[in-house]
Amino acid sequence: MIFGNNNYIDKMDFVEINYKNSKKLFSKKSKYQMIDVYKNDFFGNILVIDDDLQLTEHDECNYHEMISHVPLNYIPNAKRVLIIGGGDGGTLREVCKHSNLKEIYLIEIDEEVINVSKKYFPNVSKSFNDVRLKLIIEDGYKWVKNNLKSMEDYFDVIIIDSTDYNTAIKLFSKKFYSMLRDMIKDEGILVFNCMGLSWEKEDIDGIINDMKKNYKYVNLYQVFIPTYASGHYTFCFNSNSIDPMNTPIDIEKFRRKNIDTKYYNIEIHKASFHLPNEYLKGGNKKERLGSNLLIDVRGVDFNILNDLDYLTDIMLDISKLYNFNVVSDSYSKFKPYGITINFLLSESHFTLHTWPEKGKICLDIFSCGKFKWNFKNNSNKINILDVLSNNLKVSKDNINVNWQEREI
């Protein structure tokens, strides 16, 4: 890093980023690291630790929202989260938006980072007074080692939000990842900040291979952070029970939480796991199994949702629309109300379930063949949204669609 002529320069091996008209606000050597804060006309305040840019007020939300909401939306009823690092408070701020959480541990080695963030980044650090927070000033590696037995299978989600190597070198070790595996519940998730996908592919490959020794599902997911080197950054998702590529997200539960985000949304969440072809070469490319369409509809009339013949006709219309071959069908009518209908397709299956008392209906279509649900390539120029909106008598705004290409 260079500071001079009113410009702050982020100097790296391949490129220099010049932040014009920058002013130094703070500089101090703490017990562990050098901490600097700059002010820039466009990017706002900038946090730099040991000459590495950590965040800017302009785009910090991209990083903090993706490292937090991606894992937490796979476990919408999670109770306990552990954050290792994250002294600026940004990840904590996003985690605290999930009201279902009961305990949030944050382990930060350098209290000075917290103090600096509270003074110069008040919007980032605003959740340190959350009553669910257990703030511990300690070396993250030592804390995990000392609490391993008492907190075995304790956390639903663990997030490592550390600086790059330097004093945090132990947080990147195989031993540390192995210890964390024992702290996470069997159905839990570990996420940590990784590297720039475009410039550090070989290093990332090594990390992925190491993590696969401890976890069944290891996936990179990407985020775009303009002020990071290359702008194309990644996180590493690890779990022994949750495959992020093939596990549906409960969109309705996320919506009910009323979480305000600037960068994160469900579509970006799903897209973030789809990596460039260049990365997929070399044994990481997956085999396609089929197409999975999940649809949730709300605000439907009670009588429609309890009418077996009417709903069966809708499913037949949709099957004809996409040329599905219905091999057999079955149904169940529940007391006092509610219906499930199953179509066995030569391509796979088509299932419908209703909750008349809630005004909701869910559809699940899986096809081994390729079909584009949103194409209007038929003579009537309609797709499944048109069929559902017209027959269920609801606006398309009441219809949520989750589309996945299932791979292994």
For the beta sheet containing 16-19, the strands, ordered from the edge strand earlier in sequence to the opposite edge, are: 2-4, 7-11, 16-19
Tokens 């079955």 -> residue: 330
Residue of 310, 294, 298 whose CA lies nearest to 357 = 298
HSE-CB at 346 with a 13 A cutoff on CA atoms is 6
Q: At what angle do helices 308-321 and 384-392 cross, to 10 degrees?
A: 160
d(CA 63, CA 198): 17
d(CA 286, CA 270): 16
Sign of the Cα pseudo-torsion (145, 146, 149, 152, in order): negative
Among 161, 203, 243, 260, which one carries the catalytic annotation? Answer: 161
Q: Tell me, yes or no, if 161 is annotated catalytic.
A: yes
Cα 330 to chain centroid distance, Å, stands at 36
List the structure tokens of 194.
């990784």
The answer to whether 165 and 129 have CB atoms below 8 angstroms apart is no
List the structure tokens of 308.
């077996």
Residue of 131, 117, 122 whose CA lies nearest to 86 = 117
List the structure tokens of 18.
């010049």
Counted residue by residue, the chain has a size of 408
d(CA 261, CA 94): 9
Residue of 81, 129, 132, 85 whose CA lies nearest to 107 = 85
- C-beta neighbour count of 44 within 10 angstroms: 17
Which string of DSSP letters, residue by residue, matches 162-193?
Answer: --SSGGGGGGGSHHHHHHHHHHEEEEEEEEEE
Catalytic residues: 161
